[in-house]
Amino acid sequence: MDRITFYVNKEKCSVGSEVDSDTSLIDYIRNHLNLRGTKYMCKEGGCGACIVAVTLNDPEPRTFSVNSCLVSVTSCQDWEITTIEGIGDRSRGYHPVQKTLAEYDGSQCGYCSPGFVMSMYSLLESNHYDLTQYEIENSFGSNTCRCTGSRPILDAFKSFAN
């Protein structure tokens, strides 16, 4: 197959026949790039643990949250992909979405947290940080938390509303 080029956290990736064409984006991110912050549970689009942010320039930049378990890596031509490692960490400082989730006790085991954070990050980016509480409340139907419960997570994220 032709080589597919895209970016993950601003690093250029080039994928060709050395990667199976049925490799999912989540497996590429975790197993080839060794970025283990993006999690998975169902691998069928039901839990949101694997969500990353994708920016397309067509021609204006638009950012979406994408379930990386549902996407073949061969579909990612020209995508600008951001994973949880790309927005903040202990050494560089955390992104406001990460900090706020912690301040509201919105993370317990933490397994769902990268997916929730990247959903919220994508939502803020795509709406230029102009959102109502109602819009935020109704934007997380594809994320699942099995231990904290959704309320503290949504309360944290609704603090970003205008």
Q: Which of these, 152, 158, 8, lies nearest to 80 by C-alpha position?
A: 8
**Which residue is associated with the tokens 């099995």?**
146
- Minimum distance of ligand FES from residue 42's CB (angstroms): 4
Burial zone of 22 (CB within 10 Å; 0-12 exposed, 13-18 middle, 19+ buried): exposed
Cα–Cα distance for residue pair 76/7, rounded to 1 Å: 9
**Which residue is associated with the tokens 């950012």?**
63
Which residue stretch of 14-22, 45-53, 132-140, 154-162 sits at the interface with ligand FES (rule: CB under 6 A)?
45-53
Burial zone of 150 (CB within 10 Å; 0-12 exposed, 13-18 middle, 19+ buried): middle
Q: Is 31 in the site for ligand FES (CB under 6 A)?
A: no
Q: Is 107 in the site for ligand FES (CB under 6 A)?
A: yes
- Minimum distance of ligand FES from residue 52's CB (angstroms): 10
Which residue stretch of 12-20, 29-37, 71-79, 144-152 sits at the interface with ligand FES (rule: CB under 6 A)?
144-152
- Minimum distance of ligand FES from residue 74's CB (angstroms): 18
Residues 56-95 that bind ligand FES (CB under 6 A): 67, 69
DSSP annotation of 89 = B
Q: Is 45 in the site for ligand FES (CB under 6 A)?
A: yes
For residue 73 the two structure tokens come to: 């890596």
Q: Which of these, 3, 80, 75, 73, lies nearest to 32 by C-alpha position?
A: 73
Nearest residue (CB) to ligand FES, 13 versus 112? 112
Q: Is 151 in the site for ligand FES (CB under 6 A)?
A: no
Binding residues (CB under 6 A) for ligand FES: these are: 40-43, 45-50, 67, 69, 107-112, 145-148
